[in-house]
């Protein structure tokens, strides 16, 4: 696991975007991107969009798979993740809508939709780089505490804490769905690289538990300790409860030039 501590949230987006762009370029035109919703990756998407606009990254033939979708929102709901991904990823990154996929949270047969989603990811060769945020309770995707570390795409019930955290996107807490369709932890772990971004003090405890705590289903994101290529990009506030910050900073500063993914050209 590589931990990169950035001075501020804007820099988190810049560094994470450069890492994602480097993996996409190496994977070739048909790169497969895993995308998260929520606030955390927005700066990363904005930086990726700048690279696309500058002609430094071409995602026009790439594929993307969202992590999750609410169950119970009508199709086209502005807070459905299909809509959020369309406006924050597909359009700004110049991707083909037909190649950007979101779990079908509105499907009549949720189990079948989950199995189809897994097959679709498999059919394009798997995810090259998965972008992740982390919930204040340590979830990744919507794999809430005590999710199986081997889980695959399936329906989950959101915790009261996650519903409260996400109420800011809705007019009231009552409008936040209770269920979602989410890639499992096993599905996420199949991605060849993962880049997790977190900003703010309210994520500090989750980041510390994920990076330095024991691997435990109570902190679903801690499963990333078993991933061979996991990069955790955080701002100083989100890093504030890490005990090894000095080491992470030193390691990043002294990276050999050939390993520096955030230096372009
Ligand atoms: C979103 C997702 C979640 C979020 C997490 C953090 O697709 O899978 O794990 O990444 O809830 O959300 P924000 O970034 O809004 O704090």
Beta pairing partners, 132: 196
From 9, 39, 40, 203, mutation site for ligand 1 pocket: most ligand atoms within 8 A of C-beta: 40
Question: Rounded to whole angstroms, how far apart are CA atoms 90 and 28?
Answer: 18
pLDDT for 259: 77
pLDDT for 62: 98
Joined together, the tokens standing for residue 204 give 């500090």
pLDDT for 262: 57
Q: pLDDT (tens digit, 0 to 9) for every residue of the chain, 265 residues total? A: 999 999 999 999 999 999 999 999 999 999 999 999 999 999 999 999 999 999 999 999 999 999 999 999 999 999 999 999 999 999 999 999 999 999 999 999 999 999 999 999 999 999 999 999 999 999 999 999 999 999 999 999 999 999 999 999 999 999 999 999 999 999 999 999 999 999 999 999 999 999 999 999 999 999 999 999 999 999 999 999 999 999 999 999 998 877 776 554 3
- Ligand 1 mean position to 199 CA, how many Å? 11
What residues have CB less than 8 Å from 194, skipping those under 6 apart?
34, 129, 130, 131, 132, 188, 224, 227, 229, 230, 231
Nearest atom in ligand 1 to 198's CA: 14
Is any atom of ligand 1 closer than 6 Å to the C-beta of 197? no
pTM for this entry:
0.96
Could you tell me the residue range of the domain that residue 26 belongs to? 2-256
Joined together, the tokens standing for residue 70 give 């609410």
Nearest atom in ligand 1 to 182's CA: 8
Assess if residue 261 is contained within a domain: no
Nearest atom in ligand 1 to 143's CA: 9
Q: Tell the burial category of 119 from Cβ atoms under 10 Å away from its Cβ (0-12, 13-18, 19+).
A: exposed
Question: Rounded to whole angstroms, how far apart are CA atoms 262 and 265?
Answer: 10
- Ligand 1 mean position to 162 CA, how many Å? 9
pLDDT for 258: 77
Assess if residue 263 is contained within a domain: no
- Ligand 1 mean position to 249 CA, how many Å? 25
Nearest atom in ligand 1 to 166's CA: 15
Is any atom of ligand 1 closer than 6 Å to the C-beta of 105? no
Question: Rounded to whole angstroms, how far apart are CA atoms 99 and 93?
Answer: 12
Is any atom of ligand 1 closer than 6 Å to the C-beta of 79? no
Residue 40 — φ and ψ, nearest 5°? -55, -45
- Ligand 1 mean position to 138 CA, how many Å? 10
Is any atom of ligand 1 closer than 6 Å to the C-beta of 68? yes
How long is the chain? 265
Question: Rounded to whole angstroms, how far apart are CA atoms 164 and 162?
Answer: 5
pLDDT for 260: 74
pLDDT for 265: 32
Assess if residue 265 is contained within a domain: no
Closest CA to 142 of 169, 173, 180: 180
Overall number of domains in the chain: 1
- Ligand 1 mean position to 58 CA, how many Å? 26
Distances (CA, A) of 221 to 91, 159, 231: 29, 15, 12
pLDDT for 264: 42
The set of catalytic residues is 68, 137, 139, 144
pLDDT for 255: 86
Nearest CA to ligand 1 atom 5: 135
pLDDT for 256: 83
Assess if residue 218 is contained within a domain: yes
Closest CA to 147 of 117, 138, 127: 138
- In the sheet with 193-198, reading across from the earlier edge strand, the strands are 2-6, 230-235, 193-198, 129-132, 32-35, 63-66, 100-101
Assess if residue 264 is contained within a domain: no
The CATH number of whichever domain residue 96 belongs to comes to 3.40.50.1360
Nearest CA to ligand 1 atom 15: 38
Nearest CA to ligand 1 atom 10: 133
């Amino acid at each position: 696991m590589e931990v990169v501590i950035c001075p501020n949230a804007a820099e988190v987006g810049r560094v994470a975007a450069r890492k994602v762009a480097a993996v996409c370029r190496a994977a070739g035109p048909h790169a497969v991107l895993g995308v998260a919703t929520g606030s955390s990756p927005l700066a990363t998407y904005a930086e990726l969009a700048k690279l696309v606009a500058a002609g430094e990254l071409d995602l026009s033939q790439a594929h993307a798979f969202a992590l999750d979708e609410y169950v119970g929102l009508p199709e086209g709901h502005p807070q459905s993740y299909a809509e959020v991904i369309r406006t924050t990823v597909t359009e700004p990154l110049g991707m083909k809508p037909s190649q950007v996929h979101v779990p079908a949270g509105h499907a009549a047969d949720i189990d079948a939709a989950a199995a189809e989603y897994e097959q679709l990811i498999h059919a394009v060769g798997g995810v090259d780089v998965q972008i992740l945020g982390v919930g204040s309770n340590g979830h990744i995707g919507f794999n809430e505490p005590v999710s199986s570390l081997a889980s695959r795409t399936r329906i989950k019930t959101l915790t009261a804490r996650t519903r409260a955290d996400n109420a800011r996107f809705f007019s009231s807490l009552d409008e936040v769905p209770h269920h979602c369709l989410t890639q499992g932890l096993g599905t996420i772990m199949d991605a060849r690289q993962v880049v997790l971004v977190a900003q703010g003090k309210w994520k500090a405890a989750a980041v510390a538990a994920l990076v330095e705590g024991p691997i435990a289903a109570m902190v679903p994101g801690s499963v990333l300790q078993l991933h061979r290529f996991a990069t955790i990009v955080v701002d100083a506030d989100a890093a504030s409860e890490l005990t090894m910050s000095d080491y992470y900073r030193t390691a990043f500063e002294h990276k050999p030039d050939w390993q520096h993914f955030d230096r372009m050209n």
